[in-house]
Amino acid sequence: MIVVAYSGLSQTEWRLCVSTTEIIQFTTEELNPIYVDSYTVVRALMNRFPNDVDPRNVTKVFFYGTGCTAQQHQQRIVFCLESFFEEAEVNVDTDLLGAAKGVFDRKSGLIAILGASTSTCAYDGLSVIETSTPLNFHIGNEGGGISIGSEIAQSYYYKYMPDDLLGLFQKETGMTQEELYSRLNSFETPHTFLTNLVTFGSAHKEHSFIKHLVQKSFRKFLELHLLPLSIKTGMKNIGIVGPIGFLFEEIVQNELDLHHLQTDKMLYSPIEVLTRYRCSYL
């Protein structure tokens, strides 16, 4: 049996390949080794791994995750996975490499992850050769859910959101300005709370205010991350991975077209493609 996992900022998607025709799927919380300890990783697996499957029967594990760039962070995940999957060969790499393999396989191109957070890389068909990432969750992340959610929250709280949207926001979320302030400052993971506000933006993405807000955020992402990588590498084919690309596909595609960048694929998540690729060797 083979296990494939893709861990983003909001959750970790797992696929257990029992055979080429039998694949079991489950999810856990995000398992970013920068922010979670070893106990959290092992506990997540103990709670969600299928009870009727012996993890000692797993022979290989492929884990692609946010926060797995530095060697020490990769090794922390390796240690955790080896302690749970005792007989398995464990491979840990970045979410960018997982996204690149899921989109391009052995072709070269640029990857833009547009989830809660954002990151970008150039891929040569084998490995990631250049990256561009935001400074952290709160500084940067243009084009991502945290950034878009922050803009929505600010526009509502400071009341520069148009009146029709103000009413819809209060009706659909059930929050006054004071309740928004309270929940944002008491939420254990504010980036998750802000990302959840993107649902409101997506529901009203035809509204000129939301459309401009998303365009502005994605244009900044292009200027700071994607275009410099394209100029440096000469690559113009792009793979978009993540829910923000899906939710605002028309806006994202229009901005890419303006800069003569070609979209190869747009995936909500690369987990299915990675699973097909890895499990084909069973």
pLDDT digits (tens, 9 = 90+) for 215-230: 999 999 999 999 999 9
User: Could you tell me the residue ranges of all domains in the chain?
Assistant: 2-98+271-279
Is the CB of residue 225 less than 8 Å from the CB of residue 132? yes
Q: Is 12 exposed, middle or buried (0-12, 13-18, 19+ CB in 10 A)?
A: buried
Cα–Cα distance list, 262 to 24, 133, 235, 259 (Å): 34, 21, 10, 9
pLDDT at 137: 61
Is the separation of the CB atoms in 254 and 280 below 8 Å? Answer: no
Task: Give the pLDDT confidence of 223-275 residue by residue, as tens digits.
Answer: 999 999 999 999 999 999 999 998 999 999 999 999 999 999 999 988 988 89
Class of domain 2-98+271-279: alpha beta
pLDDT in tens, the chain (282 residues): 999 999 987 899 999 999 888 999 999 998 999 888 999 999 999 999 999 999 999 999 999 998 998 999 999 999 999 999 999 999 999 999 999 998 998 999 999 999 888 999 999 999 999 999 876 666 668 999 999 999 999 999 999 999 999 999 999 999 999 999 998 888 767 878 888 999 999 999 999 999 999 999 999 999 999 999 999 999 999 999 999 998 999 999 999 999 999 999 999 988 988 898 888 766
Model pLDDT, residue 54:
96
Which neighbouring-strand residues pair with 122? 110, 130
pLDDT at 21: 86
Task: Collect all residues with Cβ–Cβ distance below 8 Å to 111 and sequence separation of at least 6.
Answer: 96, 99, 100, 103, 104, 120, 121, 122, 123, 238, 239, 241
User: Do residues 145 and 193 make contact, with C-beta atoms less than 8 angstroms apart?
Assistant: no
Which of 93, 90, 121, 68 is closest to 239 using CA atoms? 121
| C-alpha count within 13 angstroms, C-beta hemisphere, residue 200 | 27
Can you give the pLDDT at residue 185?
85
pLDDT for position 116: 87
The whole-number pLDDT of residue 184 equals: 87
pLDDT of residue 111: 96
pTM of the model: 0.88
- Residue 117 confidence (pLDDT): 87
The confidence score (pLDDT) of residue 136 equals 65
